[in-house]
Structure formats: structure tokens, C-alpha cells
Amino acid sequence: MTAAATLLHFDDETAAAHRLADAAGLRPACIERHRFPDGEVRLRLPPVLAEPVVLLRTLDQPDPKLVELLLAARTARALGAPHLTLVAPYLAYMRQDIAFNPGEAVSQRIVGGFLTSLFDAVITVDPHLHRVATLHEAVPARQALAVSAAPLLADLIAERRPGALLVGPDAESAQWVAQAAARHAFDHAVCTKVRRGDHDVSIELPPVGVARRAVVILDDVASTGHTVAGAARLLLAAGAASVDVAVTHALFAGDALALMKGAGVSHIWSTDCIAHATNAVPVAPLLARALGDLQAGRNT
């Protein structure tokens, strides 16, 4: 990425922004933000933006952040930014890609269209796409790039649990488990999950021997922790020597961490796509390479 490019960020992501700026050769600039008593927000961007602009915003707790993106992107355009790239290490609202009941909002399509109206390019890490094959289908921006942290998690697992068995908690995790397993020739398998509600899931272990083995449950995201906890209990009951967890996105809502620990999980490792105490894998180099790929594509 050209050294002239500006990396806009908010004050709550300053550390992540500086890691990305160092890795990608960008100039970081913090967006000033003031929250009024009535909940509205006032933003102030740097005054000179007649150059490509990258805006970093991970979209956990997304609703207020989406308004901030609207204000920041439109202001950057008004200040002369010729090209806007959103780097959203976690991209929210990707789960619901169809209306399951009459009248439901298809959030993936709506939010994807919203981001496309604001940005020329969107980069994210391990988006939770189910019935959609590519990020561009969900976010039809001029350039849309999804990169995976699964190989980075695999490197960590190889260092801390060499020879581990990788287990995906459900069918949707299969793609990430397969990528991670291929990196270091790990044995791997995927559980079967039946979800009846946000907190009501049942798990069936795959037909693979786990006795006396170190097992790592790997997935793109952990939210309530119920699926991971259910899988961990079954694995330990089947004789696993240990069960650890590696995830790209550490959402960990409510008592998720306590729930997983209570189920017997030893260690929980996550990337820093979402800032959390479990962060063990930095993604700035991965995002910097993605920015370079987009830049090369834009110049060809």
C-alpha cells in the first residue's frame, strides 16, 4: 500500500490501527468523536484527505458503529478522498442470508448493500457466510476480499499443541478446520449440531477416536459459548486428554468464557480481529497483505 495513504480509525481501536499502519506502511489518523447526551455522535476527520483512505472498524457491537461508518465515509468523500477501503476484521450481520419467516429482514443483503454504497473496497477476515459462496455476493463492492486466519491459528496450535486433533463444532466450521488442518497435516473432524434456539443446541461427535488425544475445537466465531461447551463436554467424556479452543472472532457474549471453562476447556486462543483478553494471534500482517493485493489489483 502506498505510504501516502491515510488509515482512519477510532480511539477505541488505536492499538490495532497502529499495528496495521506499521505493517502496511500507512499513516494513522484518529477520528475525533463526541457523544452527545441524547446519544447522537459528532465526528471530526483530518482536514486533508485527497488521497486513498483506509478506514479500520471491526464491527462487533455493530449498530452504533454502522452509523459512524456512514458519517465517516461520507465526510471523507466530501474532503476529497478518491478511494475508500473499509477494513472490517469482523463483519457483522452476515449470518442471515435469507428470510426464514415472512417479513424478516435479510440483514446480510441490506448491510452488504449499505457498505457497498459507502466504500470502493471491503476487506474482512473469515466472514460467516453460509448459503453465499463469496464475500462479493454479500457485499457487492467494486472490490471485496475475505482472508482467513485459520492458517495463523494452525501455526499457534502447532506450537502449543503439536499433533493435536482439530474438531469443528458444526458443519459450518468445516471450511476453517480443513484449512487449518492442511497447514500442518493435523487430523481433523467435524461435529454434527442441531440448534433449537440461541441457547439450545445439541452436539454429536464425529466417528473419530479422541481417547488420550489433545483436541482443539476450531471455529470462525464463538458467541454464547454453548456449542463449544457442549462439544468440549462430549470430547472429555470420550477420553480426550485435553480440550482447547481456537477462534478467529472472540465475540464471547455474556458468560461465554465461564461456560466454556466450566465445560473443561483448558485454553482459549483468539485472533485480535476483536480485542479480547484471549487474543493470541495478530492479524495486522494478514490485513496488510490483503491491502497490498487490492492495491495491485487496482493498478492492473
Taking the C-alpha atoms of residue 151 and residue 195, their distance in angstroms, rounded to an integer, is 28
Task: Please answer whether residues 247 and 222 qualify as being in contact, where contact means their C-beta atoms are separated by less than 8 angstroms.
Answer: yes
The separation between the first and the last C-alpha atoms of the chain, rounded to the nearest angstrom, is 14
- Cell representation of residue 163: 499433533
Q: Is the pLDDT of residue 200 over 70?
A: no
Residue 51 confidence (pLDDT): 84
Taking the C-alpha atoms of residue 193 and residue 75, their distance in angstroms, rounded to an integer, is 45
Give the relative orientation of helices 174-184 and 150-160 as an angle to the nearest 10 degrees: 50
Residue 176 confidence (pLDDT): 93
pLDDT, one tens digit per residue, over 204-220 is 898 889 999 999 999 99
Q: Is the pLDDT of residue 238 over 70?
A: yes
Residue 203 confidence (pLDDT): 85
pTM (predicted TM-score) = 0.93
| pLDDT bracket for residue 3 (50, 70, 90) | very low
Task: Please answer whether residues 119 and 140 qualify as being in contact, where contact means their C-beta atoms are separated by less than 8 angstroms.
Answer: no
Strands 165-168 and 200-204: unpaired
Cα-only R_g, the chain: 20
Report percent pLDDT > 90 for the chain.
Answer: 82
Task: Please answer whether residues 280 and 270 qualify as being in contact, where contact means their C-beta atoms are separated by less than 8 angstroms.
Answer: yes
pLDDT, one tens digit per residue, over 158-199 is 999 999 999 999 888 999 999 999 999 999 999 987 766 665
Active site residues: 193
Taking the C-alpha atoms of residue 30 and residue 33, their distance in angstroms, rounded to an integer, is 9
H or E element at residue 217: strand 214-222
H or E element at residue 195: strand 192-197
Taking the C-alpha atoms of residue 202 and residue 199, their distance in angstroms, rounded to an integer, is 10
Residue 49 confidence (pLDDT): 72
Residue 72 confidence (pLDDT): 97
Task: Please answer whether residues 129 and 97 qualify as being in contact, where contact means their C-beta atoms are separated by less than 8 angstroms.
Answer: yes
Taking the C-alpha atoms of residue 236 and residue 243, their distance in angstroms, rounded to an integer, is 7
Helix (H/G/I), strand (E/B), else coil: 115: helix
pLDDT, one tens digit per residue, over 107-142 is 999 999 999 999 999 999 999 888 888 999 999 999
